[in-house]
């Protein structure tokens, strides 16, 4: 791919990632470019100052990267999940290549993934003005690659609808089809959900309606739900647990919701009956084979 003159190395690598993911989401080339992208972002961020933020959750501590002129802040970064030592991340990339991600434990996997994702997203916050699309697409491709590696297949993002006189093709989030007599996974990937999350339950309902309930297992996968007030420097977690319960009761049932930075209010949904299973993303790799049992 020709290098675009003037494009920051992080954005150049990002363009490369997009091309390679579209070609083959499962390929080792995607792993390699993700690692290079992480190294670029990590080195870029290491030259920036940071500023401590105030969190509305007692158990969580956040900071933001700050431009050298002090005028620009990145999104909120969870201090306990962001690894300044790259070892755990480089180890994770090696595990992807060896197809034994489970050699790290849930906390290590979640931390490595959080660090990779937030390093890229924070870099974009600093390099571009008000661009939610680039971090969103990156996160989709990064997580999509991990699901592809674990399932050993590439995803689709359309399904055919053949129903009596109707023949249509429906755009969806990632669909991983493990083949006959095995589950199909419907995997929406979002940096954060907010009020638009009802879409996810609605698309699950369409899949249930068109193909029959239980044929597609929904695994919503998210980065975090933090919101940083740039004036007060306060980080809040925007959560709507009552609405999630209503969607899960009345629209459709998601099998799992995974987070890299698990919101406190959604973690509590594991305790209410009927439960919604919200888990740290690292757990996926240990339960992937049992989700259809």
Question: Binding of a second copy at residue 190 (CB under 8 A)?
Answer: no
Dihedral sign computed on CA atoms, order 191, 93, 157, 247: negative
Q: How far is the CB of 196 from a second copy (least distance, A)?
A: 7
Question: Binding of a second copy at residue 242 (CB under 8 A)?
Answer: yes
Which SS3 state, helix, strand or coil, does residue 166 take?
Answer: strand
**Among candidates 14, 129, 122, which has minimal Cα distance to 62?**
122
CB 273 within 8 A of CB 248: no
State the Cα–Cα distance between residues 291 and 293, nearest whole angstrom.
Answer: 6
**Dihedral angle of Cα 132, 62, 244, 144, to the nearest 10 degrees:** 50
Q: Which of 161, 234, 238, 291 binds a second copy (CB under 8 A)?
A: 161
Interface region with a second copy, contact rule CB under 8 A, candidates 77-85, 108-116, 133-141, 240-248: 240-248
Question: Binding of a second copy at residue 265 (CB under 8 A)?
Answer: no
Question: Binding of a second copy at residue 168 (CB under 8 A)?
Answer: yes
Question: Binding of a second copy at residue 178 (CB under 8 A)?
Answer: no
Q: Which of 13, 95, 190, 203 binds a second copy (CB under 8 A)?
A: 203
Question: Binding of a second copy at residue 7 (CB under 8 A)?
Answer: no
Which SS3 state, helix, strand or coil, does residue 187 take?
Answer: strand
Q: Which residues bind a second copy (CB under 8 A)?
A: 161, 163, 166, 168-171, 195-196, 198-199, 201-203, 205-206, 208-210, 242-243, 245-247, 249-251
């Amino acid at each position: 791919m020709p290098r675009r003159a003037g494009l920051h190395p992080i954005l150049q690598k990002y363009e490369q990632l997009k091309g390679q993911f579209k070609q083959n989401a499962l390929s080792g080339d995607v792993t390699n470019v993700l690692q290079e992208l992480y190294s670029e972002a990590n080195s870029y961020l290491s030259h920036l100052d940071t500023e401590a933020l105030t969190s509305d959750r007692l158990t969580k501590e956040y900071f933001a990267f700050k431009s050298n002129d002090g005028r620009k802040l990145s999104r909120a970064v969870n201090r306990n999940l962001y690894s300044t030592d790259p070892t755990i991340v480089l180890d994770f990339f090696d595990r992807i290549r060896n197809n034994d991600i489970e050699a790290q434990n849930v906390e290590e996997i979640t931390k490595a993934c959080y660090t990779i994702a937030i390093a890229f997203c924070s870099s974009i916050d600093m390099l571009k003005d008000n661009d939610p699309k680039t971090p969103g697409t990156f996160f989709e491709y990064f997580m999509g690659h991990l699901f592809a590696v674990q399932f050993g297949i590439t995803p689709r993002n359309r399904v055919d609808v053949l129903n009596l006189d109707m023949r249509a093709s429906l755009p969806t989030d990632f669909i991983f089809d493990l083949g006959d007599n095995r589950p199909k996974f419907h995997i929406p990937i979002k940096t954060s959900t907010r009020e638009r999350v009802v879409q996810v339950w609605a698309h699950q309902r369409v899949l249930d309606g068109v193909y029959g309930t239980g044929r597609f297992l929904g695994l919503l996968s998210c980065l975090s739900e933090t919101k940083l007030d740039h004036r007060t420097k306060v980080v809040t977690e925007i959560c709507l647990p009552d609405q999630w319960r209503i969607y899960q009761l009345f629209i459709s049932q998601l099998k799992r919701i995974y987070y890299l930075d698990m919101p406190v209010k959604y973690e509590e949904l594991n305790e209410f009956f009927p439960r919604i299973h919200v888990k740290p993303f690292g757990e996926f790799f240990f339960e992937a084979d049992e989700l259809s049992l």
